[in-house]
């Protein structure tokens, strides 16, 4: 029995090393394209997001290296990087976390119904405690998707930690601006229905609301409950 476990462990290790090598040696070049839709699609010549930058990082080494889930369409790659650049000035003290993107060739992904064309991204919800960014929960990896918040945006594990709605609004505005400069637009934001009022009540949230970006108006209970620790955004090509 011990021997079998050892062999299985070794095979898993080899697979993880092999997958990691694929991401580490990957080179972004040219332009991406896709076929199909976010819920049934394929991505060609994808771009791999950097694991980290000045004010952002990817949320899970497992998701990035072993699962290869940090690929996006080239237009979205440029959009995400330029939005983070803007946030260096609009949210100077905030470190952002990028969550799951897409597989290298698009298509189905574990735990997601969409994310199939490289134009969908999950962003980790920024948190705040006593006026300062709270980053303790940013390091939970895939377990972060399980965090829960009440309808006022307070974390169930610690009610003094709340969603930083102002920063969230600033980030979405920077994404909207950057998307337009890169031939994309925000097609849909999936964000827990009960938390929309809090988001649109902040100073920047009011500006965000004026832009008329489409936020899902009704969600099934499971999908709704999931979209509080992160916000999901579907982008689309302006010309399509």
Residue ranges that bind Zn ion, judged by CB under 5 A: 122, 232
216's CB contacts (< 8 A; 6+ apart) are 188, 189, 190, 191, 193
194 and 164 Cβ atoms separated by less than 8 Å: no
We find the least distance from the C-beta atom of residue 99 to Zn ion, in angstroms, to be 8
We find the least distance from the C-beta atom of residue 228 to Zn ion, in angstroms, to be 13
Nearest residue (CB) to Zn ion, 16 versus 185: 185
Name the helix (H) or strand (E) containing 148: none
Nearest residue (CB) to Zn ion, 176 versus 229: 229
Nearest residue (CB) to Zn ion, 16 versus 223: 223
CA–CA distance from 169 to each of 75, 184, 201 (Å)?
A: 22, 19, 10
We find the least distance from the C-beta atom of residue 91 to Zn ion, in angstroms, to be 22
We find the least distance from the C-beta atom of residue 188 to Zn ion, in angstroms, to be 11
Q: SS3 of 239, please?
A: coil
Nearest residue (CB) to Zn ion, 16 versus 193: 193
At what angle are helices 74-90 and 165-181 packed, to 10 degrees? 130
* 163, two tokens: 């969603």
We find the least distance from the C-beta atom of residue 98 to Zn ion, in angstroms, to be 12
Q: Using CB atoms, what's the residue nearest to Zn ion?
A: 232
Name the helix (H) or strand (E) containing 4: helix 2-24
We find the least distance from the C-beta atom of residue 127 to Zn ion, in angstroms, to be 19
Nearest residue (CB) to Zn ion, 4 versus 60: 60
Which single residue is written with the structure tokens 């100073």?
Answer: 203
Phi, psi (degrees; rounded to nearest 5) at 86: -60, -40
Nearest residue (CB) to Zn ion, 1 versus 233: 233
């Amino acid at each position: 029995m011990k021997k079998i476990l050892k062999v299985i462990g070794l095979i898993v290790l080899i697979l993880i090393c092999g997958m990691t090598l694929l991401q580490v040696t990957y080179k972004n070049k040219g332009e991406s394209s896709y076929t199909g839709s976010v819920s049934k699609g394929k991505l060609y010549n994808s771009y791999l997001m950097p694991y980290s930058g000045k004010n952002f990082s990817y949320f899970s080494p497992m998701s990035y290296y072993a699962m290869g889930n940090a690929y996006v369409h080239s237009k979205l790659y440029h959009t995400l990087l330029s939005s983070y650049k803007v946030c260096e000035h609009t949210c100077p003290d905030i470190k952002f976390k990028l969550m799951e993107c897409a597989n290298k060739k698009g298509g189905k992904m574990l735990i997601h119904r969409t994310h199939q064309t490289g134009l969908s991204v999950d962003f980790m919800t920024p948190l705040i405690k006593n006026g300062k960014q709270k980053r303790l929960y940013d390091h939970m990896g895939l377990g972060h998707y399980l965090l829960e918040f009440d309808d006022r945006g307070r974390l169930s594990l610690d009610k003094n930690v709340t969603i930083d709605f102002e920063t969230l609004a600033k980030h979405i505005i920077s994404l909207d601006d950057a998307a337009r400069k890169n031939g994309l637009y925000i097609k849909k934001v999936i964000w827990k229905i009960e938390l929309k009022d809090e988001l649109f009540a902040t100073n920047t949230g009011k500006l965000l609301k004026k832009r008329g970006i489409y936020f899902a108006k009704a969600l099934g209970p499971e999908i709704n409950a999931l979209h509080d620790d992160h916000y999901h955004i579907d982008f689309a090509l302006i010309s399509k």
